[in-house]
A = this chain, B = another copy of it.
Amino acid sequence: MFKKVLVANRGEIAVRIIRACRELGLETVAVYSEADRLALHVRLADEAYLLGPAPSRESYLRADKIIEIAKKSGADALHPGYGFLAEREDFAQTCLNEGLAFIGPKPSSIAAMGDKMTARETVRKAGVPVVPGTEDVGNMSDENLLSIAPKIGFPLLVKATAGGGGKGMREVHSLDEMPELLKSARREAESAFGDGNVYLEKLVEGARHIEIQILADGHGNVIHLNERDCSIQRRHQKLVEEAPSPFLDDELRQRMGEVAVKAAKAVDYVNAGTIEFLVDKDKNFFFLEMNTRLQVEHPITEMITGVDIVKEQIRVARGRPLQYKQEDIKINGAAIECRINAEDPYNGFMPSTGKITHSLLPTGPGIRVDTGVYPGFEITPFYDPMISKLIVWGETRAQAILRMRRALEEYRIVGVRTNIPFHQTLMDSHRFMGGQYDTRFVEERFAIHDDNDPAIAEIAAALATLAAHQQTQRAAQFVQRNERDTSNWKWVGRWERMHR
């Protein structure tokens, strides 16, 4: 039974894991890059050790240093979070070799599911339906892929073998454009995973991305916690998730759950994992991949089932049987998560960096915010743009949407741009309210609105004029001063002084 957990991650998920450990009475060890000295996970952990410079490759991907720190600090377990080293079977194996409990699946399960082509084959043999695509296992050359593509048919997807999170993924509509897209997919995959291999998969049109949360212990018990609908995506990045899916009925839910359990058992799975499916218009579902780790969007499942997935991961890693049986898992109400990213929805979702000067979190009943940032913290270009997850629960889906609207309206983040206006527009859209969306909805049938309510335009005019007027009045007062140096902090400082 381990007592001290090294959290090999950063940001909101590191904070989430540290909280679970603390609530279980376990000590925590944080690791951090030079950019993260004052990150929340460092502030909240019992111990903290520097890994190296800001770039991930020199810090959070430094498996060797992480193991060294685990030994130095006396940690006897490691939680990898998601991303970074979470799905590297060699890293999981090293942990075990070094006597560290790995809070995740066995290395063999990671390996079986980590290579996406092998995974397809494994689950197909276990009787799980898969999306049509390349069926060979092993690295394939561009020539090879170009010759197979017409047999699969267009449109199709180029996907990274080592992939996940939409990285190294490209949509191909014709053979002509394929060579160029293969090149860019391989380049992105190489940069993201250190592995440029790709495979092909038929693009299922009008599909929904629906995934099943799995929990399995070391005593042969495997249960599922129902589904999450993650079809609201942009560039294959999930933006909004909800549970339960408005698209599923109980019968399909149960069938998909059973198949997911089967897929997990096929790789002898232990701990938390997620089976991702595509579900087409006719409610046929196909295995897409398994994420052998904690998922970003796990909180919505926690909200509707009452299960604390991270605590359960830790209990399972300590050798305990699951606290729940399948029949204990009930769906209570509805939950939605909006991923709040530091990016500008009015400028092609370009990442936005800078120091957060102020924030106001929405709070109150049915609201949960998982975040790793706070006022004074600097958003750097080195890591993922996701700065927080806004999660709401409601007695019904309609109430959850209404609650999400009010939470988004309340949320203030100053210093970086965020995609909150995107989420507000989405929550107002009739198609989202009606549950009528698929994975292409955001890109093809949705625009962040520039509809112009004249009454509100008038208010905007008043606001802009008052702010401009105030600025002019103040500039007059400052005119004697040497105003050459207007570097950011001075401006902020002056701003603050002016407003006290």
Comparing A119-127, A287-295, A489-497, the segment that makes contact with chain B is A489-497
Q: How far is the CA of A358 from the CA of B370 in the complex (A)?
A: 19
Q: A370-B364, A406-B22 are in contact. Are A500 and B496 (CB under 8 A)?
A: no
A306 contacts chain B at the CB level, 8 A cutoff: yes
Q: A23-B399, A375-B358, A500-B489 are in contact. Are A365 and B406 (CB under 8 A)?
A: no
**Can you list, as one digit per residue, whether each of A291-333 has a CB less than 8 Å from chain B (1) or not (0)?**
0000000010010001010000000000000000000000011
Does A493 contact B489, Cβ atoms closer than 8 Å?
no
**Residues of B close to A308: CB separation below 8 A:** 365-366, 395
Does A363 contact B369, Cβ atoms closer than 8 Å?
yes
**Can you list, as one digit per residue, whether each of A474-500 has a CB less than 8 Å from chain B (1) or not (0)?**
000000000000000100010011001
Min Cβ gap A239→B in Å is 20
Q: A332-B306, A402-B25, A497-B493 are in contact. Are A363 and B374 (CB under 8 A)?
A: no
Q: How far is the CA of A19 from the CA of B409 in the complex (A)?
A: 11
Whose C-beta in chain B lies nearest to the C-beta of A493? B497
A361 contacts chain B at the CB level, 8 A cutoff: yes
Does A363 contact B368, Cβ atoms closer than 8 Å?
yes
A376 contacts chain B at the CB level, 8 A cutoff: yes
A106 contacts chain B at the CB level, 8 A cutoff: no
Query: How many subunits of this chain does the assembly comprise?
Result: 2
Does A358 contact B371, Cβ atoms closer than 8 Å?
no
Interface centre among A19, A369, A375, A402, by most chain B C-beta atoms within 10 angstroms, is: A19
Does A363 contact B361, Cβ atoms closer than 8 Å?
yes
A403 contacts chain B at the CB level, 8 A cutoff: yes
Does A364 contact B406, Cβ atoms closer than 8 Å?
no
Q: How far is the CA of A44 from the CA of B406 in the complex (A)?
A: 9
Q: How far is the CA of A143 from the CA of B173 in the complex (A)?
A: 96
Does B371 contact A368, Cβ atoms closer than 8 Å?
no
**Residues of B close to A263: CB separation below 8 A:** none
Min Cβ gap A42→B in Å is 13
A15 contacts chain B at the CB level, 8 A cutoff: yes
Q: How far is the CA of A332 from the CA of B22 in the complex (A)?
A: 22
**Residues of B close to A23: CB separation below 8 A:** 399, 402-403, 406
**Residues of B close to A47: CB separation below 8 A:** none
Interface size on A, residues (CB 8 A): 42
**Can you list, as one digit per residue, whether each of A355-391 has a CB less than 8 Å from chain B (1) or not (0)?**
0001011011111111100111000000000000000
**Residues of B close to A253: CB separation below 8 A:** none
Does B358 contact A361, Cβ atoms closer than 8 Å?
no
Min Cβ gap A177→B in Å is 45
Q: How far is the CA of A335 from the CA of B164 in the complex (A)?
A: 38
**Residues of B close to A364: CB separation below 8 A:** 15-16, 19, 368, 370
A135 contacts chain B at the CB level, 8 A cutoff: no
**Can you list, as one digit per residue, whether each of A11-52 has a CB less than 8 Å from chain B (1) or not (0)?**
000011001001111000000000000000000100000000
**Can you list, as one digit per residue, whether each of A411-450 has a CB less than 8 Å from chain B (1) or not (0)?**
0000000000000000000000000000000000000000
**Residues of B close to A58: CB separation below 8 A:** none
A410 contacts chain B at the CB level, 8 A cutoff: yes
Q: How far is the CA of A398 from the CA of B475 in the complex (A)?
A: 58
Does B363 contact A371, Cβ atoms closer than 8 Å?
yes
**Residues of B close to A496: CB separation below 8 A:** 493, 496
Q: How far is the CA of A283 from the CA of B258 in the complex (A)?
A: 50
Does B493 contact A302, Cβ atoms closer than 8 Å?
no
Q: Which of B16, B306, B363 contacts A370 (CB 8 A)?
A: B363
**Residues of B close to A493: CB separation below 8 A:** 493, 496-497, 500
Q: Which of B363, B365, B369, B489 contacts A497 (CB 8 A)?
A: B489
Whose C-beta in chain B lies nearest to the C-beta of A388? B363
**Residues of B close to A302: CB separation below 8 A:** 365
Q: How far is the CA of A371 from the CA of B369 in the complex (A)?
A: 15
Min Cβ gap A282→B in Å is 35
Q: How far is the CA of A369 from the CA of B44 in the complex (A)?
A: 19
Q: How far is the CA of A399 from the CA of B361 in the complex (A)?
A: 25
**Residues of B close to A16: CB separation below 8 A:** 364-365
Whose C-beta in chain B lies nearest to the C-beta of A494? B493
Offer 30 A-B interface pairs, CB within 8 angstroms, sorted by A. Answer: A16-B364, A16-B365, A19-B364, A19-B365, A22-B402, A22-B406, A23-B399, A23-B406, A25-B402, A299-B365, A302-B365, A306-B332, A306-B333, A308-B365, A308-B395, A358-B375, A358-B376, A360-B374, A361-B361, A363-B368, A363-B369, A363-B371, A364-B368, A365-B368, A367-B368, A375-B375, A493-B493, A493-B496, A493-B497, A493-B500
**Top 10 closest pairs, chain A to chain B, by CB:** A22-B406, A489-B500, A363-B369, A23-B402, A19-B364, A23-B403, A360-B374, A493-B497, A23-B406, A361-B361
